[in-house]
Chain A
Amino acid sequence: MTTAPSGATQRRDTDPPARSASPGRRPMTASRRENRAGLAFVSPTFLVVLVVVVLPIAWTVLLAFQKARLVDIQGMGLFGNWSLDNFAQVFDSAGFWSSLWTTLLYTAGATFGSIGLGLIAALALRKPFKGRGLIRAAMLLPYCAPVVAVAFVWEVALSPQYGIVNDWGRRLFGWDDPIAFLSTRAYEVHLLGVHFDIPLALLTVIAFETWRYFPFAFLFILARLQAVPDTLEEAALVDGATPTQRFRHILLPQLMPVIALLSVLRFILTFNKFDDVYLLTGGGAGTDVAAVRVYDFLTARYDVGAAAAQALVLAACLVILLGLYFKFFANKVQEEA
């Protein structure tokens, strides 16, 4: 980065009167001063981000291509020991592809669920009523509460031995056996004589994620909803549009940009999510999302190289998915907006 724009010297030559006005250095133009000030102000922030974010990520990329275990790193240089073994190990390791698939299901389910529930909540709380402020605040509880605490509440509530859910299930719905929500990989369901398995533990963590992050979507959608001008809906009302029609043709197009933004945001954040699944199931029972695998590589085997490679593959998948999303949907969203 340079402080002097490249055009500066040229301008000085073609602009002799200004030079004669000040015998020494020509005073800086306002835009140059602004440029200087901008760079001066942004550099501390930039430096912090560079040191704590950009450099570590760059080093991860290097580590992923090196044979590196935690014990070796002390004596190891920054470069050397190049190999592609880590990637081979990642792609060959048992359950890599199924883990990627699980991550996708988990991410898509949780993104869809949290935005859907957030949208419903925003629509329900749109019109003022007594106590709305209080309910709106209560709605944000799952989002602001610490993940460790709420994960344990879910764990206890869903427990087969002393959980409230199984107890009420037995009393109200006549469940024969308690259901181990968090440790059942496939739960057999008999419906109308058909047997099929549902991935119960995975669905439970998706439900948890939906529950925890719908307030986030709710906040953004509600803010947007309240900025929709009343006149639009009133006009539709006069034309005899029903509530569903008003939603479909008036509100939804207005909300589409913020929903699209939330989808991208929630998708990225959920894809990389570690603590929720780790705390609820430890990655067992068919919930081995990729982020938990990175953690396992790092702490169980102290294999830094493999962990870095796995994290890198994860990031690459995310970038590809986002690329696809923007290629196919971004235009559509803009048209709707």
Chain B
Amino acid sequence: MTRKTALARAQFEDRFFGVLRWFVIAFLVVITVLPFYYMVLLSLKPIDALLLDPGSLWISAKDFTLSTYQDVLRSSDSGGQGFLKFLLNSALVSLGTVALTLVAAVPGAYAVSRLKFFGSRQVSALFLAVYLFPTTLLAVPLFVIFAKIGLSSNLVGLAIVYVAQTVPVTIYMLKNYLVTIPASIEEAAALDGASRLQTVRKVILPLALPSLMATGLYVFMIAWNEFLFALLFLAADPDKWTVSLGLAQLSNGIEVPKTVLMAGSVVLTIPVVLLFFAAERLLTEGLTSGADKS
């Protein structure tokens, strides 16, 4: 290739990718935002308007309704779907999971990141090996155990299962952050006479707060969105349903219009999306820290 054609090719490619880039960005925005716009849109329409014109991407003023939300949120006693109750259940389970997971994972993450001890390398490998096993594999014995000790259809039992699923990734994320805290800070605390436990509580944890929040948020997201175990454990007891499960069961009801289903989806999605946007930077950094060093 002569220099001239090479330059021509470079110029052509520069221009081509310069244009293509914007098409790609537009495409990505459409596929990520449009489904959520569609979800909100349908939730604000009566079902007749949807059936009449399934392809419309806006909503006329006379069609606009909030009755779908009323239907979804009203308690089942007054003829609604009782999603307020489900929201409360989901919040309890998710927050409980976050608290339990952090309590269980912080000491381990600290030990793995900081201390050399007998079996330290094997332990961190073991924590990650947990993900090799299918969730469904865990589901079988937990289903049986909980049926036996009466923890099935119990929110505490569900939170324990979620802890099992989130502890490994929590350790991994926390560890990645903790190794970036200089050891000299800890040594200074030790020189001042702080015990190891005091150092962790008064020095390391405050420093790791951003990471703790990011990790907690991620765990919250996992617990809030989880569906399989909620279905396995709680399906028999409508009082204990989480929002995800409530929504799935709602879709099985024959006479429930799709617009109400979409209102339920919005109710399920909003808390987690709001939290996510509030802490997006924190979360993405917490998740990918370590990835840029590999």
Contacts and interface: CB of A to CB of B under 8 A. Distances in A.
Interface of A: 1-3, 5, 31, 34-39, 41-42, 44-46, 48-49, 52-53, 55-57, 59-60, 63, 70, 73-74, 120-121, 124-125, 135, 137-142, 144-150, 152-154, 156-157, 159, 161-164, 166-168, 171, 211, 215, 219-220, 223-224, 226-227, 240-244, 257-258, 261, 268-269, 271-272, 274-275, 278-279, 291, 294-295, 298-299, 304, 307-308, 311-312, 314-315, 318-319, 322
A240 to B, nearest CB: 6
A44 B119 contact: no
A145 B272 contact: yes
B108 A137 contact: no
> Is chain A's binding surface mostly helix, strand, loop or mixed?
helix
Given A49-B127, A261-B294, A268-B132, A42 B288 contact: no
Contact of A274 (B145, B168, B228): B228
Interface in B6-44: 6-7, 9-10, 13-14, 17, 21, 24-25, 28-29, 31-33, 35-36, 38-39, 42
Contacts, number: 296
B268 A146 contact: yes
Contact of B32 (A139, A153, A159, A268): A139
A149 B39 contact: yes
A223 B132 contact: no
A73 B141 CA distance: 11
Given A140-B284, A243-B14, A150 B35 contact: yes
A135 B225 contact: no
Q: Which of B24, B110, B141, B273 has the most CB of A within 10 A?
A: B141
30 contacts: A1-B119, A35-B115, A37-B115, A45-B109, A48-B167, A53-B138, A73-B144, A124-B24, A140-B276, A140-B284, A146-B227, A149-B269, A153-B38, A154-B35, A156-B42, A161-B54, A168-B55, A219-B288, A220-B287, A223-B284, A224-B292, A240-B6, A242-B6, A269-B131, A275-B227, A291-B136, A298-B140, A298-B232, A308-B140, A314-B137
Interface stretch (B59-67, B157-165, B208-216): B157-165
A258 B290 CA distance: 10
Given A41-B107, A141-B273, A144-B276, A152 B251 contact: yes
A3 B119 CA distance: 10
Contacts of B28: 121, 124, 135, 139
Contact of B111 (A41, A219, A278): A41
B19 to A, nearest CB: 12
Nearest to A247: B17
A162 B51 contact: yes
Contact of A63 (B51, B141, B287): B141
Contacts of B9: 242
Contact of A144 (B104, B112, B273): B273
A106 B155 CA distance: 33
Contacts of A49: 126-127, 130, 164, 167-168
Contacts of B115: 34-35, 37-38, 41
B244 interface: yes
Nearest to B130: A53
Interface in B252-278: 258, 261-262, 264-266, 268-269, 272-273, 276-277
Contacts of B251: 152
B105 interface: yes
Interface residues of B, number: 101
Nearest to A305: B140
> Is chain B's binding surface mostly helix, strand, loop or mixed?
helix
A99 to B, nearest CB: 13
B76 interface: no
Given A125-B25, A307-B140, A41 B110 contact: yes
A271 B117 CA distance: 34
A95 B244 CA distance: 30
A116 to B, nearest CB: 12
B248 interface: yes
B262 to A, nearest CB: 7
A312 B137 contact: yes
Interface string B101-130: 000110111111001111110010011001
Contacts of B196: 37
Given A124-B24, A167-B54, A240-B7, A220 B119 contact: no
